[in-house]
Amino acid sequence: MISTVAVRTTASVLTLAVLSACAPLGPNYQRPEPLSASTTGGTARELPSQYKEAAALANALLKPASTTTVSAADWWKSFADPKLDALMVQVAQANQNVAQAEAKYRQAIAATQQAQAARFPTLGTNASATRSSQAANGVRTTSQSLSAGLSANWELDLWGRVRRSIESGDASAAASASDLAATTLSLQAQLATNYGALRALDVQRGLLEDSVAAYQRSLQLTQNRYEAGVVAKSDVAQAQSQLLSSQAQLIDTGSQRATLEHAIAVLTGRPPSELTVSRVDGYPLTLPTVAASMPSELLQRRPDIAAAERRMAAANAQIGIAVAAYYPTISLSGSLGQRGTTLADLFSLPNRFWSVGPALALSLFDGGARDASKAQAQASYDQTVAAYRQTILSAIQEVEDNLATLRILDEERVVQQQAVQAAQEALTISLNQYKAGTVSFLSVATAQAAEYSARRTELGLRSEQFSASVALIKALGG
């Protein structure tokens, strides 16, 4: 029959188990408003309904969000470049910074699983065999003892310390997942920027090759006129200087292109010797149409904002853990086993032993350590709230900055195209005047340099627009 003590002990265990299901201590997490109250007080402010710069960029570069056809996961496909598509996939698969972020995410998952393990009792087993000898009154006796048993221990989560730990771990794991997404997005945007700069160099190299060919024709024309006695030797020297200078610039583009190609190789997880990006003549530097979203959508689309929000939840759970430290720790322990002096009687019923019961531990004085721990947890949470709101403000600023950059570059490029046309017309007039002998070659050289500079500036604006488009897509969370 089961003894009265055993019945009472079992009842106590069941009572404590029921109590362990009580609501955990500490504040339950509620996401704070994205923007804090103004310095004059009042309630927290809401996010703006639209971007300040979006209305000014009412052209083909911006479209309603409802017409978006490219998913955030494949945002780079809007550039319509198969080579870029292949490189982007390699970034996610082979980049070592992405691998580090992925490993941190797995660490966070393992930490969560470790916290969840505290919800269950720990079970153990033990076995021992001892043999001893002693002498008394000139008589030596020898004895041996054998034992084998099981033990169990379970800390009851009466105050929610374990549940808050799991809550914090889950939030930290989600933050690590968002960190992984943010790292991948950032590196893919960096790849797109480098790729666009490389293709812009290809186009610039084409411009320089055209200019070198034009300068070679000008040098030949000048030499012919010099041999005919029409112009001075200085015109020939000036034409040669202009040609050699352009050839030097053409050579220099090779160094810049190699640097960008090496950067692209490292971003894709390969040594530079294993990657060659073939030149594409006349690369269009196509600018994608970017979906015009609302600032509130950043809260769902930006992985860095999602990570900051989950860190708030993790920090909030830490407050509950600190509060639970004020209350006693209650655990249940038990053991069951056999003891004997020989193997024959080790497992006999009379040699069985068992024990079960609760244990309570409470710190009565700690010099203010628990108060300090709670204050630290609260301050840490306040810090994450400020970091969350600052991340949102920075995200909105990035979007506004790039919208303004695209608008200004678009306006500037329209004017620059007119400057190119004017420079080309001035060059044609100068060449005709030089052939007619009414101006010196200095006028031609000046017009040629101005025409090349205007075309190069226009190309630079297109390259900046490409980079700004990538930055805007990144700022919008893909």
Structure tokens at 144: 């041996």
**Selected residue with higher pLDDT from 137 and 18:** 137
pLDDT at 56: 67
Residues forming beta bridges with residue 131, ordered by sequence position: 144
Each residue of 383-418: pLDDT tens digit?
999 999 999 999 999 999 999 998 899 899 999 999
Q: How far apart are CA 270 and CA 440, in angstroms?
A: 54
Confidence at 59, pLDDT banded by 50, 70, 90: low
Q: Are 75 and 185 in contact (CB under 8 A)?
A: no
User: Taking residues 39-59, what's their average pLDDT?
Assistant: 67
> What architecture is domain 1-30+122-156+328-361?
Single Sheet (2.20)
Tell me the C-alpha to C-alpha distance, in Å, between residue 72 and each of 2, 75, 118, 326, 395: 65, 5, 38, 47, 17
Q: In 3D, which of 332, 339, 392 has the Cα closest to residue 151?
A: 332
Confidence at 57, pLDDT banded by 50, 70, 90: low
Q: In 3D, which of 239, 240, 278, 237 has the Cα closest to residue 87?
A: 278
Structure tokens at 278: 């073939």
User: Taking residues 138-145, what's their average pLDDT?
Assistant: 74
pLDDT at 1: 40
Does the CA dihedral 433-439-442-446 come out positive or negative? negative
Question: Which residues belong to CATH 2.20.200.10 in the chain?
Answer: 1-30+122-156+328-361
Percent of the chain having pLDDT more than 70?
Answer: 88
Each residue of 2-23: pLDDT tens digit?
455 444 555 555 555 555 557 8
Classify strands 139-155 and 122-136 as parallel, antiparallel or unpaired.
antiparallel
Most confident of the ranges 73-77, 215-219, 266-270, 330-334: 266-270
pLDDT at 334: 87
3-state DSSP call for residue 465? helix
- Residue 264 neighbours by CB distance under 10 Å: 23
Each residue of 115-133: pLDDT tens digit?
888 888 889 888 888 877 7
Q: Is pLDDT at 36 greater than 50 in this prediction?
A: yes
Each residue of 144-169: pLDDT tens digit?
788 888 888 888 888 888 899 999 99
This prediction's pTM: 0.83
Neighbouring residues of 147: CB distance < 8 A, sequence distance ≥ 6: 126, 127, 128, 337, 338, 339, 340, 346
Structure tokens at 43: 């309630």
The Cα diameter of the chain in Å comes to: 139
Most confident of the ranges 137-151, 174-188, 214-228, 353-367: 174-188
pLDDT at 382: 94
3-state DSSP call for residue 62? strand
> What architecture is domain 31-119+168-327+369-475?
Up-down Bundle (1.20)
pLDDT at 67: 39
pLDDT at 131: 79
Cβ burial, residue 457 (10 Å; 0-12/13-18/19+): middle
Percent of the chain having pLDDT more than 90?
Answer: 38
Structure tokens at 374: 């709670």
User: Taking residues 245-265, what's their average pLDDT?
Assistant: 92
**Selected residue with higher pLDDT from 324 and 292:** 324
pLDDT at 72: 62
Tell me the C-alpha to C-alpha distance, in Å, between residue 470 and each of 288, 383, 474: 9, 31, 6
What does the mean pLDDT of the chain come to? Answer: 84
pLDDT at 354: 83
Q: How far apart are CA 266 and CA 276, in angstroms?
A: 12
pLDDT at 394: 92
Q: Is pLDDT at 321 greater than 80 in this prediction?
A: yes
Question: Which residues belong to CATH 1.20.1600.10 in the chain?
Answer: 31-119+168-327+369-475
pLDDT at 191: 95
pLDDT at 40: 45
Q: Is pLDDT at 249 greater than 70 in this prediction?
A: yes
Each residue of 342-385: pLDDT tens digit?
776 767 777 787 888 888 888 888 888 889 999 999 999 999 99
